[in-house]
Structure 1
Amino acid sequence: MSTNLSTTDFLRRFSRLAIVNILSNLMVPLAGLIDVAFLGHLAEIQHLAGVALATVLFNYLYWTFGFLRMGTTGMTAQAIGRGDRDSALLVGLRHGLVALGIGLVILLLQLPLRAIGFTLLSATAEVKLAGQAYYNALIWGAPATLINFVLIGWFLGREQSGKVLLLSAISNLTNSFMDYFFVVRWGWESAGAGYSTALSQYLMLFTGMWLVCREFRWSQIQAIAPKIWEPIALKAAFTLNREILIRTFVLISTFAVFTNLSSTFGTNVLATNTVLLQVVTLAAYFIDGLAFATESLAGIFRGQGTNEQLRLLLCISGGTSFVFGLGFAIAFILNPNLFFGLLTNHRDVLERINQYVVWLLPVLAFGSIAYMLDGYFIGLTEGKILRQSVVVATLVGFAPVAIAAWYLQNSHLLWLALALFMVVRAVTLGQQVPASLRSVEKLKGC
């Protein structure tokens, strides 16, 4: 690959990656929105609230191990940038084995994890029962879900976004199809939503493995397999993954506290904030399409030592992300009844949404910059910077105001806490950009 792309060539390359990633990413929240729509139109609202509650637990179980995707992308992209095809394959194999091991451990510990999780989460008995039914079904998809993290990260690191799009299409379209039958036609309610998601993850896994087997022969994998346990490579992977794990755990905890505090304000407030968070999730997945392109290119450019391309990447990705984040917020603020009416027909929930929808503006505007910079530093495999940023954002930006929100039982203060969390993330990550560019320049000099 050329290390001296013109601006036009760069825009073409970035746009191609970003568009495919956006299409792929959008399928995930759209499937989630379909889940919400099916459950939100059931006669009893506790099924929607129960899934929201159980999702907090699954965010811990799954996204705490987000390093399986993020670490794989950054390390693979840098190997591709150096022209080291064997190292790129080894990254995928190492993380794949780790994902399988973690997934099996989760299955073995599913009962104590459920007991601990639902003991810590606050909700009415009916909401907890609905959430446990969802948990009992979805937990069986754990091994497939975690290995899929690795497959997606590996394909992204190799700029193979088309394969990620195919995997997302298969997973999310089948999930939506099964949702219709399990939830609507067969009346399995929250359990049906869990089974459909778990089954779609296994179908995604089988497709991903088929794609890998088409490109690599078993003899190639056997030839490099002894290098999987190479001490230096394992240490580097462990250090990066440890930092990303801490970062992701703190990030998930922030949103978990947000959801759990929402539940203490009542079922209607929990349902309202759940629907609003679906919009934040939709926008995040959209912007993450740009962030994923940023990850791939940042890692490749670092591997090549092309500092000028990194600067151009930051300008184009940052500007585009901000415009998209702002646009999403404005669209939903101007047309709340139109968009949110598709997700629920409960009038009291829709009335509350109209009171809180304006908070999407600061959350998505500053969040878009934070998402983009996350992708940039993941591509550079700067795990320490990612970890420090989220910890500071949670302790300084979110926690103090969230405590006040709980004490005063004020949902507006809770949204202010989330907005400040995004602001601090964007600022702390942005402060590290100049130093990161200098470090790449030093590598180029070496």
Structure 2
Amino acid sequence: MLITTLDRYDFLPRFFRLASVNILSNLMVPLAGLISVAFLGHLGDIRHLAGVTLSTVLFNYIYRTFGFLRMSTTGMTAQAVGREDEQGVLITGLRNGILALGLGMMILILQYPLQEIGFALLSATSDVKASGQAYYDARIWAAPATLLNFVLIGWFLGREQSGKVLVLSAVGNAANILLDYLLIVRLGWESAGAGFATAMSQYLMLLIGIIFICREVRWKEIRGVAGQLFDLSALKEALALNRDIFIRTFAFLSTFSIFTNLSSAMGTMMLTENALLLQVVTLAIYFIDGLAFATESLAGIYRGKEDNEQLTSLVGISGGTGLVLGLSLALVFVLFPEPLFGLLTNHTEVIDSLDQYVSWLLPILGFGSIAFILDGYFLGLAEGPTIRSAALTATLLGFAPSAIAAWLFHSSHLLWLAMSLFMVARVITLGVQLPRTLKG
């Protein structure tokens, strides 16, 4: 009884401490990106900025597709923590680390086919593509470190060690900025310098992460679980979860890519307007993901403890907080569009035109905030089939019909309706599964 009471009083500060640290970690990524863009944007030739932007699209597909390494590691680690299974915690990190290393090496082996296919699908002038390829050739060598960092971050989050994740993010992004300045501004390596800066910062993050692990995990502990790393049934279970999260992530990426491509087909002005609104959505997601990551960690721990009462409290607190945060961010832009969008562009005709579309942020961030929280909840429970089915249903039945209509009628409103329905479908498909997970 005493433990339960203490857990209840400890729940709120525990959740918000995790969430706030996660949000700070998340926000460092776009901040570092903006500074890198500023360095490239002040070079004499703008093709370097355009080339890096082009190449980044390709890297987003490559690395975000492998985001399942972070997500599955968090959920499975957190459940092992909840069961007080120290060996299970270590095995999860090692097994996914081996998988990440293998996939990273595979990317290096296939780097040239990936480059040829990727740049063949991306439209740009030859000089912009050349600059983008120089960035690609430098950054691609960080593939093993990048994927291993996904596992490290997931492992630390699963153990509620978000402070270590904050340190990794701070070190990695600060190093990226300093190396950008050194290689781009001082040494004049242009887009290749930006690629090497990102690659070197990933390896520095990996080094710091390994130091953290070496301080608390002994070699004899690793040797003690080595024989269990390739247990066939456990390996199949882990691969199945990773596969389901992979499909979920690919569905998300495809939805946002199709949205952007359809915006482009409607003209430069429409693409510009929708891109600015998407920047707001992306910014909001960095905040909401901080709550979702905290939900993911605690959901896994409470599932491991079989504590359904705390799971119920977690869903209520995280869902309500996410909804307030999402709607608040949307309302700020709805109420003050001119000064806020004025920070992103000085083209008044674009800002004036945004007035008719900015209200779409309310349903997208309102339903979207709940969707991301539920996504984090089910990731923490490691329910791969639920996550996969929800994503596919949201893309194929929520987004696609209205997106097709938007293309046929050349309507941006229908396109934003498609994105809204995508978020609504995610809430419904995940929400109907929620009561089942809370039963005793």
Provide the TM-score with structure 1 as the length reference.
0.89
1:8 paired with 2:34, answer: no
Task: Kindly report the root-mean-square deviation, in angstroms, between the aligned alpha carbons of the 2 structures.
Answer: 2.7
CA shift at 1:89, angstroms?
A: 0.6
Are the equivalent residues in 2 in contact too, given 1:33–1:343 (CA < 8 A)?
no
Q: 1:202: which partner in 2? A: 203
Are the equivalent residues in 2 in contact too, given 1:398–1:418 (CA < 8 A)?
yes
Deviates more, 1:379-388 or 1:340-349: 340-349
1:372 paired with 2:373, answer: yes
1:214 paired with 2:215, answer: yes
CA shift at 1:56, angstroms?
A: 3.2
CA shift at 1:75, angstroms?
A: 0.5
- Unaligned ranges ≥5, structure 1: 442-446
Q: Structure 1 pair 47/352, CA: closer, same or farther in 2 (3 Å)?
A: farther
Deviates more, 1:236-245 or 1:32-41: 32-41
Q: 1:259: which partner in 2? A: 260
CA shift at 1:268, angstroms?
A: 5.8
For 2:348 and 2:184, how far apart are their aligned partners in 1?
A: 22
- Secondary structure at the counterpart of residue 438 of structure 2: helix
Name the aligned partner's letter for residue 137 of structure 1. A
Deviations 1:110-140 (Å, cap 9, x if unpaired)?
A: 1211221232334565654554444333322
- 1:406-445 aligned at under 5 Å gives the runs 406-438=407-439, 441=440
For 1:130 and 1:404, how far apart are their aligned partners in 2?
A: 37
Q: Structure 1 pair 37/364, CA: closer, same or farther in 2 (3 Å)?
A: farther
- 1:115-264 aligned at under 5 Å gives the runs 115-122=116-123, 128-183=129-184, 190-264=191-265
Q: 1:444: which partner in 2? A: none
Deviates more, 1:350-359 or 1:87-96: 350-359
Q: Structure 1 pair 250/362, CA: closer, same or farther in 2 (3 Å)?
A: same
For 1:195 and 1:405, how far apart are their aligned partners in 2?
A: 41
Q: 1:58: which partner in 2? A: 59
1:381 paired with 2:357, answer: no
Name the aligned partner's letter for residue 278 of structure 2. L
CA shift at 1:179, angstroms?
A: 3.5
Name the aligned partner's letter for residue 8 of structure 1. Y
Deviates more, 1:336-345 or 1:401-410: 336-345
Deviates more, 1:188-197 or 1:134-143: 188-197
- Unaligned ranges ≥5, structure 2: none
Q: 1:293: which partner in 2? A: 294
- Secondary structure at the counterpart of residue 159 of structure 1: coil
For 1:344 and 1:207, how far apart are their aligned partners in 2?
A: 38
Provide the TM-score with structure 2 as the length reference.
0.90
- 1:329-368 aligned at under 5 Å gives the runs 329-344=330-345, 356-368=357-369
Q: Aligned residue pairs: how many?
A: 439
Deviations 1:10-66 (Å, cap 9, x if unpaired)?
A: 112112211111111221232234345555677877665554443332222111111
CA shift at 1:262, angstroms?
A: 3.5
For 1:344 and 1:181, how far apart are their aligned partners in 2?
A: 29
Q: 2:327: which partner in 1? A: 326
Q: Structure 1 pair 141/50, CA: closer, same or farther in 2 (3 Å)?
A: same
For 1:366 and 1:134, how far apart are their aligned partners in 2?
A: 37
Name the aligned partner's letter for residue 145 of structure 2. A
For 1:50 and 1:352, how far apart are their aligned partners in 2?
A: 29
- Secondary structure at the counterpart of residue 229 of structure 1: coil
Deviations 1:58-84 (Å, cap 9, x if unpaired)?
A: 222111111111110111011111111
CA shift at 1:261, angstroms?
A: 3.1
